[in-house]
Each structure stands twice: as structure tokens, then as C-alpha cells.
Chain A
Amino acid sequence: MEEKDNRLSQWKRLSGGSFLIALGLLLGFGIYQYKQKLNYRQYLQNRFQESFYEATTYVDNMENLFTKVRLTKSPDQSAPLFAQIWREASSAQDNLAELPYDHNTISKALKFLSQASDFSFSMTNKAIEGFELDEEDWKKVDQLKKYAKILSDELNKIKQEVNDGKRIDWEEIESEGEKRLAKGNTKAITGSFSEISKQFEDIPTLIYDGPFSDHIERMEPRMTRNKKKISKEEGKKVVEEFIGKDKVKSIKQTGETDTKVEHTIPVYSYQVVLRDQDEPTISIDVTQHGGLVLWMLNYTEKESTEEKLSLEEARKKAEKFLEERNYPNMKASYYEKVDGTVVINFAPYENKVIMYPDLIKVKVAMDDGEIIGFESLGYIMMHHDRKLPEIKITEEEARDKITKDFKVQQVNMAVIPLESKREVLCYEFKGEFDNQLFLIYINAESGKQEKILQILQSKNAVLTK
């Protein structure tokens, strides 16, 4: 009995001791982790702080430069200033986007900065070409200047608060942003962006010749506009014919676009089970107006990636596929070969002019020549009977616009889309410089050099850059 008691108390002492050690270890571990966390947190706060200050500085500069631009009279005076705004606005956008505001709060400000930068770039180009800014342009400058001032004032207000000893708690901003919106609670947080986003609510739409102009979002698809709306059953027939009656086992309609959504092409979505399969392996979207296939993807896992077809054979298969589906006269431009498949880009070739905006992409399996992908957004958005402008520049004159170091190998006529989606008729010169292939586009009306593309040639691809 006594021995047992003795052993018990020994055991008690032992367990008590190890208990303390474990507690100590745990405590140490906890403190260490906590310290570590503080370090990381501070680092992150500093990074955010830096981005905030950078953004503020760039916006300040922007406002200042917009005022200066207003004081210029001729294109050669305004061009360098617009070039500076282009840079400052783009840097401001980069820095602002890195801050942990929720997107809803800052999206308007980000958009403003994108457009201010993009608009200034297009004005720089206009000025370089020697054109005076017209009244509309100046109106836009005034608008942008006004909003740059609002943004700059608000950012400086926040900066002032920080200088007065309050500090921006970025973690709070990150977590409060959504909560506040949900509850309608407007507790003032240092560094909050809600005041700014309110002022940016009614920013007018801005239309100009650049990729972020508001007109791009509003473009209407030319191939489906004013076309008859088809039923889901009719859509099913389109799918059946597109894939091939003999190949289809069943087609299931899986979804449709909510037609209330603006600026999107309404479609019916289908999934196709092929004859030799049990599960659907093809997804395909058909436009509700006009019944055109917008895109198709066959995602069957192929066991072999063996390439039995040559590229030429694959191209012929794709061409035949397009012709049978009522896309005649399509010309293949560039392609990319990956993992036993090749994606080939096609554009219509009409009266010896290549219509690059009306792009269709076809994906071919290199083992059996099956068409496993189709994408025609470019074609549906852009394809129409174009009235081409009169050619005012001869091929010789156009060639003279290019440096003598460029060895021309081939000339085509082509309609190309600029980044603003504006289309221009050009001479396409394919040639060599420094052992590399390039495409140079010279406007057939004005003689302006519109674009230079580098052709990347490898074993697997001919791509443009």
C-alpha cells in the first residue's frame, strides 16, 4: 500500500513536471509565432503604405499636367505633356490596384486612371501626327482634369489625416470594406475610399480612339444584330449539324444567357454525347439570334498525342470543316501546336483583301484530324460587307515608308483592327530584319505605319507578337 502511494506521488510529480515543461514549450512557441506574425504584418503595412503614397504622388502630378496641357496651343507643345500624363496615370493605376480595397469601392477610380492614361496616349499620337486637338478633345481634357483634382484632393485629405498622427490600418480597410457595405454603417476609417467612390459615381462616359474607351464595351455583334431569335430546339438542330449527325448520340441543353444582361451575346449552351461515349465530351454555345455557333470545345482526354497528320493536312481538314459549315474563303494565318493539337487562325479572304478582324480559330487533333475546338467571337462581332476606302497610296509609296534594312518578301492587302477596334485598310509587308520575320502594316489611305508585328517561328508555332 505504501509502495503504491509512493509510486503514485512519484508519478504525480513526474507528470506535473512534464506538464510544466509542455506548458512552457507551448508558451514559447506561441510567443515566437506571435512575434513572427507581427513582423509579417508590419512588412505588409509598409508595402501598402508605400503604394498609397506613390499613387497619391502620381495623381498629384496628373492633375498638374492636365492644367499645363490646357495652356498649350500647338500639337508640338502638347505632345510631350500628354506623354507624361500617360505614364503618370498608368503608374497611379498600378499602385492603386495593389491596395487592399474591395474592388467595388475602387473600380471607378481605377477605370478613370486607365482611361486618363489611354486617352493621353491617343492624344499623344494625334499630336505627333500634327493634328490640332478639336473642341471635343478639349472638353474631355477638362473632364479628366476635374476628376484628377477630385481624386488628388481626397487622397491628400487622407494623407493629411496620417500626418496628423492617425495611421491607416490596412487590415481594417480590408475587412471593413465589405462589412460596411453590407450594414450601411459609415464609421470613419482613416484611409477609407468611400468618399472618393461616391464622387466618381457620375463620371461621364469617355469615347476616344483607344482600347479602354467606353465604346468597345457597347459594340454590337454584327452577325446577330436584327436576326431572328431561334428556339432551344432549333439550337439543338444547329448543334447536331455542326458536330455531324452521324457522330452525335445525344444533345442536352444545359443553360442560356439571361437576356437582361447588357453587352453580351445571348446564347443557348449545350452538351453533346458522342456515339462512342457515355458521358458528354463537347460543350457548345449557339447564339439565340441567328443560330450561329459561338464556340465549341471537345475535351475528350486523348490517350495518344501521336502526330499522324502533317500541319498541311491539319490545315486542309480545318478548311474543309469551315467550308462545309458555310464559312467560305477562309485563309489560314498563324497557328500553334501543343500536345498533339494545333490551333489555326482563319480570316476571310475577300477580293484579295484579308479581313483580320473577322477571326475564327479552329483546333485540330493531330492524330485523327478531328476538329476539337472552334471559336468565332471575332467573326460574329465584326463580320459584314465592308465598303473599303479608296486606296490613295501605291504599293511603291507604301514601301518607301519602311526602312531600307527591312527585306520585303511578300505583300498583301489587309483590313486590320486597331486596339480601339477601329479598322484600317493596309498594305501588309512580310519580310526580314536581323534574321527575324516581321509584318509591317502601312495605311493605304494615309501612308501611316499602323502596326509592326513580329512573327515568332518555332518548331511548334508561327505566332505574331
Chain B
Amino acid sequence: MKISKVATGLLIFLMIVSTSLAVFTSYITPESVEAATYTWGSEGATVREIQTKLKQWGYYNGNIDGKYGYNTWMAVRKFQAKNGLKVDGIAGPETLRKIGINVPSGGGGSSGKVYSWGARGETVREIQRRLKNWGYYNGSVDGIYGYGTWSAVKKFQQKNGLKADGVTGAATLQALGIPTGQSQTSWERNLYLLAAAIHGEARGEPYEGKVAVGAVIMNRVRHSSFPNTIAGVIYQPGAFDAVADGQINLTPDDSAFKAARDALNGWDPTGGAIYYWNPATATSSWVWSRPIIKQIGKHVFAK
């Protein structure tokens, strides 16, 4: 009796550990890697498509449930081995192409961004504005993709012979006349990157603190001992925590965009700072040797 109790307890414990581990690892997989790559824990229409094709060809005999589990993994491995691909069980761009599935990015190097429930920002605003002008949408232009926007997009898609799923992908954006990634000017690219960095680093800070983080990045670009581009500064190894832990890949909210715009336009609440840190969590001791200019929100800013 006791042994079985211990065994079941252990079993349940192990299952919890392994599932949470699986969930966790799939969660921390960098988004950029996940974008066109499917592996353990992946879910959705593309996985379903992979399973369907592999079943047709006899590699796979599990259920077509859209979940990338052991069977799918094994099947992909078999398929890879037969087709001279690297055998790792991961359906990356190469494998997907061999299977005959279009990689979502369309191969054009565009980001292939998709807007749906919960999305926020300038593009959502633009979607709403256009749908409102054409009478599909009558909510407020608030930059938040909620039910109203979703059903308006759906109506628009039906009218225009698009797949009516309420999700704004590249095709719908094009039909709306909103330029997708490719025709961005360098200014817009920098704006997005700066907004993403601000969102990752200073979410929850007062607005002034967000502009301040953007200003520090701009000050570094102009400083001789840092890289001389916005991307160079943001992605310098070890420079920003939000880059190291991937939070920079979150979609920036409206307030981050606004702050980025103010910082790009020259507003600098920091008085020329090139460093900042949170005194409560700073791990590096040498930053304290920098002369502190002032504190805004939780961050101190220094030369």
C-alpha cells in the first residue's frame, strides 16, 4: 500500500515536472527561432498540415490533432532520414519546404506579422481607421485588437474574398492598403526597434521613465565608445536585459511607441545619460562607479 502510494505520488510528481518543463521550455524558446520552426510542443494548423502530409506518405500513423508530440517528431525524423535532411525531428524551413508546406514568411524576408486578438499598436490603429472609413467598424480607434476589430476584419475579409478568420495577416493588410514590413523607411524601422527596447526594459515605468530609456539608447548611438547605430547599441551583448531574456520580442504597446517617438525627436529627460539601472536589482557593482544624474521611476540614470 505504502509503496504504491509513493509510486503514484512520484509518478504524478514526475508528470507534473515533465509537463511543466515541456511547457516552460517551449515558452522560453526564442520567438525568432520558433517563427518558422515547429518542434515538440508546437501546435496549430501548420502542425496539422505536417501530420496530414506525413500520414499520406506513410511516415505517420497517429492522430491528426495539430499537436507536435513524440509521434510527429519520430515521423519527421523518418521523413528527414529518407530525404537527406539533417535528422533532428524539428520541422524547420528546409524540412517544411521538402514536405511541401509554404513557410509563413513567404520567403521574401518580410516579418510576416499577424495581428489578432490582443494585438496593440500603431498598425492596429491604422487597421481600425481604414475599416471605420469604409464602414466596417464603428468602435473607437484605440489601437487595441478586440472583438469589435475582429468582427470588422471578418466582415471585410468576407466581402473581399479573403479567408474570413478575423485575423489580419499579410494578405488582409495588403487588401487594406497598409504597407507591410518591406517598404518601411529606416526611420520607421528604428522607431519600432526603439519602441520594442523601451517596452522590454521599462514596461510599468512612468511615461517619463520610458522616454528616458529611449533617450539613453539615442545618447549611446552618438557616443564614441558605443556602436553607432540604434540596432548596434540595442543588440550589443550584455547591454540590455530585455535583449538577453528575449523580452524585446514582445509587441510594443502604444505608450512605448509614443515614448520612442519622443526620444527620437530629441526629448531627453536624463540630461545626457548613457547608463541606467534599477538599484534594487542591479547585479553589476561597477555601474555604481558612474556619476548618477538623477532618478526617474525605478531607474537611476548616469553618465
Q: Tell me, yes or no, whether B94 is within 8 Å of chain A by CB.
A: no
Q: Which residues of A contact B54 (CB under 8 A)?
A: none
Whether A264 lies near B284 (C-beta < 8 A) is no
Q: Tell me, yes or no, whether B93 is within 8 Å of chain A by CB.
A: no
Q: Which residues of B contact A25 (CB under 8 A)?
A: 18, 70
Whether A19 lies near B7 (C-beta < 8 A) is yes
In the complex where A26-B17, A103-B238 touch, is A264 in contact with B211 (Cβ < 8 A)?
no
Whether B207 lies near A104 (C-beta < 8 A) is no
Q: Tell me, yes or no, whether A367 is within 8 Å of chain B by CB.
A: no
Q: Tell me, yes or no, whether A78 is within 8 Å of chain B by CB.
A: no
Alpha-carbon gap, A32 to B22, bound state (A): 12
B side interface size, CB within 8 A:
58
Neighbour of A264 across the interface among B4, B266, B271, B296, CB < 8 A: B271
Q: Tell me, yes or no, whether B63 is within 8 Å of chain A by CB.
A: no
Whether A97 lies near B226 (C-beta < 8 A) is yes
Q: Tell me, yes or no, whether A275 is within 8 Å of chain B by CB.
A: no
> Across the two chains, which residue of chain B brings its CB closest to A214?
B224
A10-18, A61-69, A147-155, A307-315: which lies at the B interface? A10-18
- Shortest C-beta distance, A180 to chain B (Å), equals 11
A131-139, A188-196, A250-258, A434-442: which lies at the B interface? A250-258
Q: Tell me, yes or no, whether B267 is within 8 Å of chain A by CB.
A: yes
B8-16, B144-152, B172-180: which lies at the A interface? B8-16
Alpha-carbon gap, A93 to B295, bound state (A): 31
- Shortest C-beta distance, B266 to chain A (Å), equals 6
- CB contacts under 8 Å to B, within A61-116, are 93-94, 97-104, 107-108, 110-111, 114-115
Whether B236 lies near A12 (C-beta < 8 A) is no
Alpha-carbon gap, A116 to B296, bound state (A): 35
Whether B3 lies near A94 (C-beta < 8 A) is no
Contact mask for chain A residues 1-24; partner B; CB cutoff 8 A; 1 contact, 0 none: 000000010011001101100110
Q: Tell me, yes or no, whether B101 is within 8 Å of chain A by CB.
A: no
Whether B268 lies near A377 (C-beta < 8 A) is yes
Q: Which residues of B contact A305 (CB under 8 A)?
A: 141
Q: Tell me, yes or no, whether B199 is within 8 Å of chain A by CB.
A: no
In the complex where A26-B14, A29-B18, A305-B141 touch, is A258 in contact with B267 (Cβ < 8 A)?
no
Neighbour of B236 across the interface among A29, A98, A375, A377, CB < 8 A: A98
Q: Which residues of A contact B222 (CB under 8 A)?
A: 211
Q: Tell me, yes or no, whether B294 is within 8 Å of chain A by CB.
A: yes
Q: Tell me, yes or no, whether A269 is within 8 Å of chain B by CB.
A: yes
Q: Tell me, yes or no, whether B237 is within 8 Å of chain A by CB.
A: yes
B44-52, B108-116, B157-165, B285-293: which lies at the A interface? B285-293
- Shortest C-beta distance, A138 to chain B (Å), equals 22
Q: Tell me, yes or no, whether B261 is within 8 Å of chain A by CB.
A: yes
Whether B293 lies near A261 (C-beta < 8 A) is yes
Q: Tell me, yes or no, whether A391 is within 8 Å of chain B by CB.
A: no
Alpha-carbon gap, A151 to B98, bound state (A): 49
Q: Which residues of B contact A107 (CB under 8 A)?
A: 225-226
> Across the two chains, which residue of chain A brings its CB closest to B185?
A456
Neighbour of B293 across the interface among A94, A264, A295, A377, CB < 8 A: A264
Contact mask for chain B residues 204-235; partner A; CB cutoff 8 A; 1 contact, 0 none: 00011001000000000010111110001000
Alpha-carbon gap, A107 to B223, bound state (A): 10
Neighbour of B265 across the interface among A8, A23, A118, A375, CB < 8 A: A375
Whether B294 lies near A269 (C-beta < 8 A) is yes
> Across the two chains, which residue of chain A brings its CB closest to B227?
A97
Neighbour of A22 across the interface among B15, B226, B262, B293, CB < 8 A: B15
Whether A12 lies near B292 (C-beta < 8 A) is no
Q: Which residues of A contact B284 (CB under 8 A)?
A: 102, 178
Q: Which residues of A contact B278 (CB under 8 A)?
A: none
Q: Which residues of A contact B40 (CB under 8 A)?
A: 29, 32
In the complex where A114-B228, A178-B284 touch, is A22 in contact with B18 (Cβ < 8 A)?
yes
Whether A23 lies near B226 (C-beta < 8 A) is no
Whether B292 lies near A258 (C-beta < 8 A) is yes
- Shortest C-beta distance, A205 to chain B (Å), equals 11
> CB within 8 Å of A: which residues of B?
1, 3-4, 7-8, 10-11, 14-15, 17-18, 21-22, 25, 40, 70, 89, 122, 125, 140-141, 187, 207-208, 211, 222, 224-228, 232, 236-239, 258, 261-262, 265-269, 271-272, 283-286, 291-296, 302-303
- 16 A-B pairs within 8 Å (CB atoms) are namely A8-B1, A12-B4, A19-B7, A22-B18, A25-B70, A26-B18, A101-B238, A110-B225, A211-B222, A212-B224, A255-B295, A261-B271, A295-B267, A297-B262, A299-B208, A361-B266
> CB within 8 Å of B: which residues of A?
8, 11-12, 15-16, 18-19, 22-23, 25-26, 29, 32-33, 93-94, 97-104, 107-108, 110-111, 114-115, 118, 174, 178, 181-182, 211-212, 255-258, 260-265, 267, 269, 283, 285, 295, 297, 299, 303, 305, 336, 338-339, 343, 359, 361, 373, 375, 377-378, 463
Q: A26-B14, A110-B225 are in contact. List 9 more A-B contacts (CB 8 A).
A: A18-B11, A29-B18, A29-B40, A32-B40, A101-B238, A255-B296, A257-B271, A339-B125, A373-B267
The 5 closest A-B pairs by CB, nearest first: A111-B225, A100-B237, A114-B224, A107-B225, A212-B224
